[in-house]
Amino acid sequence: MVYCDQSTHILEWASEEISIPYVSPIDRRRHKYYPDFYIKYQTKEGRIKKSLIEIKPKKQTQKPTNKKTKSYISESKTWVVNQAKWAAAEEFCKDHRWEFKIMTEDDLGIKYK
C-alpha cells in the first residue's frame, strides 16, 4: 500500500473495494468476491490502465495433487472456489476493459526460508 501511495504512476487505488458476484461450486450459491486491489495507473507509454489484483500464496494458485495429505480436501475446496472467483473477475475485467492479475510471492520478490 505504501508503494501505491508513493508511486507517481499510480493514479488511484483501493483495497477490497470492488464486489464481484460469483457462484460457488461448493454450495451452488451466489457470493461476493472482493479482489485485493484495484489500481489505475499510467504506463511508460502514457496510457491509462486499470487492473484488479489478487494476491495469493503460490500454493493456492496450483491445483492440489497429493491426495495422501490430510489437507487435500480443504486445499481442493479452496482451489475450486478460487477458480470460480477468478473466472468471475476475468469476465468482469473483460467487460470493463481492465486487466486481472494474480500475484504470488514470486511476483512480489518474497523468499521463504
Give the pLDDT confidence score for residue 113 in this predicted structure.
58
Going residue by residue through the chain, which has 113 residues, state the pLDDT in tens, using 9 for 90 and above.
Answer: 777 888 889 999 999 999 999 999 999 999 999 999 999 999 999 999 999 999 998 888 989 888 887 889 899 999 999 999 999 999 999 999 999 999 988 887 777 65
Give the pTM.
0.86
Sign of the torsion angle spanned by Cα atoms 85, 90, 91, 92: positive
Confidence at residue 59, expressed as pLDDT on a 0 to 100 scale: 87
Dihedral of the alpha carbons of 7, 9, 12, 16, in degrees to the nearest 10: -70
Write down the pLDDT at residue 87.
Answer: 98
Residue 96 carries which side chain, given as an amino acid letter? H
> How many whole angstroms separate alpha carbon 72 and alpha carbon 64?
7
User: Which residues neighbour 89 within 8 Å (Cβ) at sequence distance 6 or greater?
Assistant: 20, 33, 35, 52, 54, 100
